[in-house]
A and B are shown apart, each in its own frame.
Chain A
Amino acid sequence: MSVVLSGIAKSYGAVKAIEDIDLTVEAGEVVGVLGDNGAGKSTLMKILAGATAPDAGTIMVDGETYNFANSSAARDAGIAMLYQDLALCDDMSVVHNIFLGREITNRFGFLRYGAMRKRAQEIVNSFSVRPFDVRTPSGHLSGGQRQVSALARTTAFGSRYIILDEPTSALSPSARDEVLAIVRDLADQGIGIIMVSHDLGHVRKVCDRVAILHLGRMAGIRNMAETSQDEIISLIVQGHA
């Protein structure tokens, strides 16, 4: 069970955003994706999430090759992305946000609110955080609770691989710890996590492996237990150790 990216390339006009990228993420592991600004992290994640089509390369999910037409196709294949801005509608409750686009309805399209609310509360309660009422509008939640709501949306529909874009940015220290604990919990459940981050400390805390991009190319992939902070920084800055 794994996601395998092979020979992925993408250009925007004459600019090569990423080139010849190979990356494998196994179920149940957390892989950090690091790189300086412009290294190609966002492009790679957008391709994996189906938001952008690659110019070359293949994506295999659990042995099947996919060519995602859009993010819905990626979600159907079991890949969900949690964007840095969390993509929440602040005026809507957590229940509505979790089920937006995949509502539980009767055959006439009317919402089965009770079923949605029950499931949403179960998901939120299942995380190792202080539970909160899923009827609360997202705009009234703390930063950590908003992150939990967005994570709940990515896990609500059986995603097997989750892409997290800077999940700990703009959070309080306690909220960061909560989110990192949830990331580890999800991996322990067998979900493969790809985590884009600028914070090396958080990556070291939670990731099993780290993939480092430099100027659109894969500079190296290292097991976290077998690498050092200096080596990672060299790969980020120079593209080689």
Chain B
Amino acid sequence: MTPATDNMSSADERRAALLGETGWRATMPPLLGPTQVPLAAPIAMLAIIAVGMALAAPNFFAVGNLRAIALDASLIMLLGIGMTAVITARGIDLSIGAILTLSSVAFAAALKDFGLPLWVSIFVGLTVGALCGLFNGLLITRLRMPDFIVTLSSELVFRGLALVYAGGGVFFGFPEVITFLGRGRVMGVPMPLIIALTLVVVAHCIFAYHRVGMRLHAVGGNPTAAKRLGISVTGYRVGVYVFMGIIAAIGGIILTGRLDAVVASGAVTILLNTVAAVIVGGTHLFGGRGSIIGTLLGAWLLATITNAVVMLGFEAFWQHVAAGAVILITIALYSRRNTRAEE
């Protein structure tokens, strides 16, 4: 082959040498993973709210209040991990609230109604979550049904099953281990936050630096190309729904611990908050580009807004208005950025 420098100017040669740079910088993978995700918007929004609250309500930064924000953010953060994977793979799961509820009911039933040991009951809950995800994934990939329709329908099916079994009743009085997962603290840090952050770190490493994460981005970004390169697009798409189901089941167990109860009609608003956190965190709604760190920021931002509205003395209903406004502003910033990039 003709050497690259044969017909180049000295400027090109210098550039070629620069591009072939060595040293630690050359070996560092992109921090956020295979795709560039814009995090400036959620970071800027968080900074603006922090400054505003520092002036308007200084006890916003009290440890107790920050702990409350962390507790609110942790469940969205946790569910956001699964949803980030699903959306990055060019899917959407509208059934997470129902999966969370059904797996919680299964866990509670195994423990309370069937008298199974705690760890077996947890396994039952996680298995039900995984099976719900598998159900969604198989319908979407094998029958080629739209994700939106499948998961919207399965939301009704899963929630219906939970209601049928529970019959409108409530399971309560769970073992201390479970309530510790939902309410406990380690050195003042809420357990749900510890669990969510641990999973965020693990998921980020897989998502950003592992072969699986790289292929997942490709499956969402260009499924035709991924298939041509020998990647099992169907396998990955089913896999993300199963993963989402397991994550929702983990969320269900944590929520059970937090409430010390399982209510089959609960977790209705969790879907919108989770999708909002993922999108505000920079994950592209139509797949191919996503970030777990972005989702963490998105979840934190939503929890912060909700808390700030209460701290400022507004009626609780204003939380929705404020959260919606911030989501719109963030998405508008992304759209503006994308439009500029296309131009």
Query: Which residues of A come within 8 Å of B, CB atoms?
Result: 51, 70-72, 75, 81, 83, 85, 87-93, 96, 100-103, 105, 109-111, 113-114, 117-118, 121-122, 124-135, 137, 140, 181, 185-186, 188-189
Is B27 located at the chain interface by the 8 A CB criterion?
A: yes
B228 touches A91 (CB 8 A): no
A100 touches B214 (CB 8 A): yes
- A173: shortest Cβ distance to chain B, in Å? 17
From A72, A92, A129, B218 is in contact (CB under 8 Å) with A92
User: What chain A residues lie within 8 Å of B30 (beta carbons)?
Assistant: 93, 135
From B12, B20, B229, A87 is in contact (CB under 8 Å) with B229
From B12, B27, B214, B224, A114 is in contact (CB under 8 Å) with B27
A110 touches B209 (CB 8 A): yes
Please report the C-alpha to C-alpha distance between residue A110 and residue B34 in the assembled complex, in whole angstroms: 13
Beyond the given pairs A105-B211, A185-B1, 12 more chain A to chain B contacts, judged by CB atoms under 8 angstroms and listed by A's residue number, are A71-B229, A81-B228, A87-B229, A91-B221, A92-B217, A93-B34, A96-B34, A109-B212, A110-B210, A113-B29, A131-B16, A186-B1
User: What chain B residues lie within 8 Å of A101 (beta carbons)?
Assistant: 215, 226, 229-231
Is B307 located at the chain interface by the 8 A CB criterion?
A: no
Query: Which residues of B come within 8 Å of A, CB atoms?
Result: 1-4, 6-8, 12, 15-16, 19-20, 22, 26-30, 34-36, 205, 209-212, 214-215, 217-218, 221-222, 224-226, 228-231, 284, 288-289, 341
Please report the C-alpha to C-alpha distance between residue A83 and residue B224 in the assembled complex, in whole angstroms: 11
B225 touches A87 (CB 8 A): yes
User: What chain A residues lie within 8 Å of B35 (beta carbons)?
Assistant: 91-92, 137
- B239: shortest Cβ distance to chain A, in Å? 14
- 30 A-B pairs with C-beta separation under 8 A: A87-B222, A87-B225, A88-B222, A88-B225, A89-B217, A89-B218, A90-B221, A91-B217, A91-B289, A92-B221, A96-B34, A96-B217, A101-B229, A110-B205, A111-B29, A111-B210, A113-B29, A114-B27, A114-B28, A117-B27, A124-B19, A125-B16, A126-B4, A128-B2, A128-B6, A131-B19, A140-B341, A185-B1, A185-B2, A186-B1
- A95: shortest Cβ distance to chain B, in Å? 9
From B29, B226, B288, A100 is in contact (CB under 8 Å) with B226
Most buried by B among A83, A100, A117, A128: A100
Instruction: Kindly list the 10 A-B residue pairs having the minimum CB-CB distance in the complex, ordered from nearest.
Output: A114-B27, A101-B229, A87-B225, A113-B29, A89-B221, A72-B230, A91-B35, A91-B289, A131-B16, A89-B222
Please report the C-alpha to C-alpha distance between residue A137 and residue B218 in the assembled complex, in whole angstroms: 13
- A201: shortest Cβ distance to chain B, in Å? 22
- B25: shortest Cβ distance to chain A, in Å? 10
User: What chain A residues lie within 8 Å of B229 (beta carbons)?
Assistant: 71, 87, 100-102
User: What chain A residues lie within 8 Å of B221 (beta carbons)?
Assistant: 89-92
A103 touches B214 (CB 8 A): yes
Please report the C-alpha to C-alpha distance between residue A72 and residue B27 in the assembled complex, in whole angstroms: 29
- A177: shortest Cβ distance to chain B, in Å? 12
A125 touches B212 (CB 8 A): no
- A160: shortest Cβ distance to chain B, in Å? 15
B20 touches A122 (CB 8 A): yes
A91 touches B29 (CB 8 A): no
Of chain A, the residue at the smallest CB distance from B284 is: A91
B1 touches A126 (CB 8 A): yes
- B231: shortest Cβ distance to chain A, in Å? 6
Of chain A, the residue at the smallest CB distance from B6 is: A128
From A88, A103, A131, B211 is in contact (CB under 8 Å) with A103
B34 touches A71 (CB 8 A): no
- A24: shortest Cβ distance to chain B, in Å? 24
Please report the C-alpha to C-alpha distance between residue A122 and residue B217 in the assembled complex, in whole angstroms: 25
Known A131-B12, A186-B1: A90·B222 in contact at CB below 8 Å:
yes
- A29: shortest Cβ distance to chain B, in Å? 16
Please report the C-alpha to C-alpha distance between residue A174 and residue B79 in the assembled complex, in whole angstroms: 50
- A118: shortest Cβ distance to chain B, in Å? 7
User: What chain A residues lie within 8 Å of B215 (beta carbons)?
Assistant: 100-101
B15 touches A51 (CB 8 A): no
B230 touches A70 (CB 8 A): yes
B217 touches A133 (CB 8 A): no
- A202: shortest Cβ distance to chain B, in Å? 19
User: What chain B residues lie within 8 Å of A72 (beta carbons)?
Assistant: 230
Known A89-B218, A101-B230, A105-B211: A128·B19 in contact at CB below 8 Å:
no
Most buried by B among A89, A103, A131: A89
Known A87-B224, A131-B12: A125·B4 in contact at CB below 8 Å:
yes
Of chain A, the residue at the smallest CB distance from B16 is: A131
Known A89-B221, A100-B214: A71·B19 in contact at CB below 8 Å:
no
- B288: shortest Cβ distance to chain A, in Å? 5
User: What chain A residues lie within 8 Å of B230 (beta carbons)?
Assistant: 70-72, 75, 101
User: What chain A residues lie within 8 Å of B6 (beta carbons)?
Assistant: 128
User: What chain B residues lie within 8 Å of A75 (beta carbons)?
Assistant: 230
Please report the C-alpha to C-alpha distance between residue A195 and residue B288 in the assembled complex, in whole angstroms: 30
Please report the C-alpha to C-alpha distance between residue A186 and residue B2 in the assembled complex, in whole angstroms: 9
Please report the C-alpha to C-alpha distance between residue A43 and residue B225 in the assembled complex, in whole angstroms: 18
Please report the C-alpha to C-alpha distance between residue A132 and residue B230 in the assembled complex, in whole angstroms: 27
From B3, B8, B27, A126 is in contact (CB under 8 Å) with B3
B231 touches A100 (CB 8 A): yes
Please report the C-alpha to C-alpha distance between residue A201 and residue B127 in the assembled complex, in whole angstroms: 62
